[in-house]
């Protein structure tokens, strides 16, 4: 056990695969012998499902609504390889701010001294990255997480969300906020996805920490309510997640990214659209088609 708990936030737009990625990182780190907590920061409260056989757990906000005082064992549950699972939860539908649950849950666990008492090595915050509002930005803004990674595909809306996140990181970087460790490139076997992400990270002065292909192994594992690390430990996909977990465990240097202004982002996307159209029309051939 290291003296310092390494706190990491993983962001990404809804549906991009950030919970799948985070859970597999948690499972791989726990399997390697680390003490890990996964902290679900999405109102859907399904971040930790695949670490617990597909089961949902009571959320911090729901538990607080029922009673004033909460004991750690009422909101912290162990899953695969001993990973501690927590879900912040959200407000009742149509009421209040979804990000508020993150603030409340983090403050509660800090008051209860949970991180130290469990002697954790890693806390992974799985955070919705569509809106970097006050609550969702909390792990960055208050420097709760030291390192931020974002999951993105080559899809424009995923890149748009990543660029917005970069703006939030840059904004708080001078006041002790978290810094960017890099981009986890997901679904990179889609046509041109890898080239598009590589170009985006180059433009924003960041880097790709790992490329993750889309795989039926992941779907198969999740249908069993498990991570790929648990359900298919010898698969190629599990090896990729394990390699990513090793990189995150050893990661020390993060920095502020250089986000694109919206006009620059639109122009960049339009250039790619023109290039792909030319490729499809057969106007670009050979090596130039892969640029």
**Same domain, yes or no, for 156 and 286?**
no
**DSSP state string for 184-209:** EEESTTSTTHHHHHHHHHHHTT--EE
Q: In the chain, which stretches have pLDDT less than 50?
A: 1-2, 286-288
The answer to whether residues 139 and 240 belong to one domain is yes
Q: What is the pLDDT of residues 18-51, one digit of tens each?
A: 999 999 999 999 999 999 999 999 888 999 999 9
Question: Is the domain of 140 the same as that of 252?
Answer: yes
**Burial class of residue 66, CB neighbours in 10 A (0-12, 13-18, 19+):** exposed
Domain count, the chain: 2
CA distances from 55 to 25, 46, 49, 51, 164 (A): 19, 9, 5, 9, 32
Looking at the structure, do residues 192 and 234 belong to the same domain, yes or no?
Answer: yes
The question of whether 247 is a catalytic residue gets the answer no
171 and 58 in a common domain: yes
CATH of residue 129: 3.40.50.300
Please say if 263 is a catalytic residue: no
- Whether residue 185 is found in the same domain as residue 197: yes
pLDDT at 203: 98
What is the pLDDT, as a whole number, of residue 18?
Answer: 95
Catalytic hit among 121, 126, 130, 199: 130
Of the residues 44, 203, 239, 255, which is catalytic?
44
Q: How far apart are CA 184 and CA 232, in angstroms?
A: 21
Q: What is the DSSP letter of 131?
A: -
First-to-last C-alpha distance (Å) of the chain: 45
Q: Is residue 75 part of a domain?
A: yes
Would you call 18 a catalytic residue per the annotation?
yes
- Res 287: pLDDT: 45
Residue 1 lies in a domain: no
197 lies in some domain: yes
Question: Are both 43 and 109 inside the same structural domain?
Answer: yes
Specify whether 86 is located in the same domain as 203.
yes
CA–CA gap between residue 208 and residue 13 (Å, rounded): 17
pLDDT of residue 1: 38
Q: Are residues 65 and 177 in the same domain?
A: yes
Predicted confidence at residue 285, as pLDDT, reads 54
pLDDT at 139: 87
Q: Which domain holds residue 266?
A: 261-291
What confidence score (pLDDT) does residue 2 get? 44
Does residue 167 share a domain with residue 276?
Answer: no
Q: Is residue 115 part of a domain?
A: yes
- Among residues 6, 18, 35, 226, which one is catalytic? 18
Considering the candidates 13, 31, 35, 226, report the single residue annotated as catalytic: 13
Q: Is 107 inside a domain boundary?
A: yes
pLDDT for the residue numbered 44: 86
Does the annotation count 13 as an active-site position? yes
- 53 and 174 in a single domain? The answer is yes
């Amino acid at each position: 056990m290291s003296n310092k708990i390494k706190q990491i936030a993983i962001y990404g737009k809804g549906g991009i695969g950030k919970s799948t990625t985070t859970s597999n990182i948690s499972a791989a780190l726990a399997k390697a012998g680390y003490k890990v907590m996964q902290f679900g920061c999405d109102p859907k409260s399904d971040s930790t499902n695949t670490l617990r056989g597909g089961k949902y757990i009571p959320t911090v906000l729901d538990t607080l609504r029922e009673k004033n005082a909460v004991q750690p064992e009422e909101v912290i549950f162990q899953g695969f390889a001993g990973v501690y699972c927590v879900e912040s939860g959200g407000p009742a539908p149509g009421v209040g701010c979804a990000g508020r649950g993150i603030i409340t849950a983090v403050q509660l666990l800090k008051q209860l001294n949970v991180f130290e008492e469990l002697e954790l090595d890693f806390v992974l915050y799985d955070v919705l990255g569509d809106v970097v509002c006050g609550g969702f930005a909390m792990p960055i803004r208050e420097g709760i997480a030291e390192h931020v990674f974002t999951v993105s595909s080559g899809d424009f809306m995923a890149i748009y969300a990543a660029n917005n996140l970069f703006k939030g990181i840059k904004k708080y970087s001078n006041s002790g906020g978290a810094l960017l460790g890099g981009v986890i490139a997901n679904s990179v076997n889609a046509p041109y996805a890898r080239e598009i992400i590589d170009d985006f990270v180059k433009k924003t002065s960041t880097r790709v920490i790992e490329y993750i292909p889309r795989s039926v192994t992941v779907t198969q594992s999740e249908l069993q309510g498990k991570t790929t690390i648990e359900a298919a430990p010898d698969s190629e996909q599990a090896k990729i997640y394990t390699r990513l977990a090793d990189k995150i465990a050893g990661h020390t240097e993060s920095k502020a990214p250089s986000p694109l202004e919206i006009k620059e982002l639109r122009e960049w996307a339009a250039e790619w659209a023109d290039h792909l159209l030319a490729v499809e029309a057969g106007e670009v051939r050979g090596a130039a088609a892969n640029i």
